[in-house]
Amino acid sequence: MKKLNSGRMILLLSLLALFSVLEIEKIKEIGRWNTMQNKTISDAEYRRDFFSREMLAEKDRLSNECIIFLENVENEVIYYPVPESTVDKSLKTSFVNGWMEERHYNGTSGHEGTDIMASKNERGIYPVVSMTEGTVTNLGWLEKGGYRVGITTESGTYYYYAHLDCYSNLKKGDRVKAGELLGYMGDSGYGEEGTKGKFAVHLHVGIYSWKNGEEISVNPYYVLKYLENKKLKYAYS
């Protein structure tokens, strides 16, 4: 009888331990859910991990605000911004996740974008196309960004292309299609208008939300990874 009671006691203790673990996991899950639901577009982790596989997999856990912005970008982006050359296969591009790395020009700041680097460090060779449909809402010189184009989509998302060498035949207010030529990759910026050669040839890509008049950047790296196999083919060398 004592052995039987001992066996029952062990079983009861085991079940109690199991239920305790399950309850703790349930509480943790509720905590994770509440944390995700309280995130906004301005949340640092949301901005850093934007469009990552992990975020897309857990999209339904996000707040409505974060889901809407994520889905807007997901539905808008169609092409990688630098076409593949059909003439010279050595003309490649590359990029790394440099989100919020330090930049030093007129002080120190965090890098709010992704730099697409050119394998051939020569301005005016690589064409730059729009990743999305939209309207040209900014065109011209910025001290940091050099010659830049800003495209705003119907959702209000802003796509920023900077350090261009020159533009295509664009003007502010023009409607552009996804894949339409915006200009050519360069090394403009970090000075008065026309300044070039302060850094290697590359394209700076930025993605921004406008929330109540506030500009909020998100990390373009995972968007570009998603688009890496969606390149147009252009004849250039």
CA 100 – CA 83 distance, rounded (Å) = 26
| DSSP line for 3-23 | HHHHHHHHHHHHHHHHHHHHH
Query: Which pLDDT does position 16 carry in this prediction?
Result: 67
The H or E element containing residue 72 is: helix 64-76
Digit-coded pLDDT (tens) for 47-74:
999 999 999 998 999 999 999 999 999 9
Which residues touch 117 (CB under 8 Å, ≥6 apart)? 93, 94, 95, 200, 201, 202
Query: Which pLDDT does position 22 carry in this prediction?
Result: 57
Residues 119, 101, 37: CA angle, nearest 5 degrees: 115
CA 207 – CA 216 distance, rounded (Å) = 8
Amino acid at 69: F
CA 209 – CA 216 distance, rounded (Å) = 5
How many Cβ atoms from other residues are within 10 Å of residue 119's Cβ? 12
Digit-coded pLDDT (tens) for 153-210:
999 999 999 999 999 999 999 999 999 999 999 999 999 999 999 999 999 999 999 8
Which residues touch 136 (CB under 8 Å, ≥6 apart)? 149, 150, 151, 170, 171, 172, 173, 174, 175, 176
The structure tokens listed for 57 are 């997999």
Which residues touch 58 (CB under 8 Å, ≥6 apart)? 36
The helix/strand/coil state of 182 is: strand
Whole-prediction pTM value? 0.86
Query: Which pLDDT does position 36 carry in this prediction?
Result: 61
Q: What is the largest CA-CA distance in the chain?
A: 94
Phi-psi domain of 191 (left: phi exceeds 0; alpha: psi -120 through 50; beta: other): left
Which residues touch 231 (CB under 8 Å, ≥6 apart)? 79, 80, 82, 83, 84
CA 223 – CA 69 distance, rounded (Å) = 13
Picking from 224, 151, 144, 153, the residue whose alpha carbon sits closest to that of residue 182 is 151
Q: Check whether 1 has a pLDDT greater than 60.
A: no
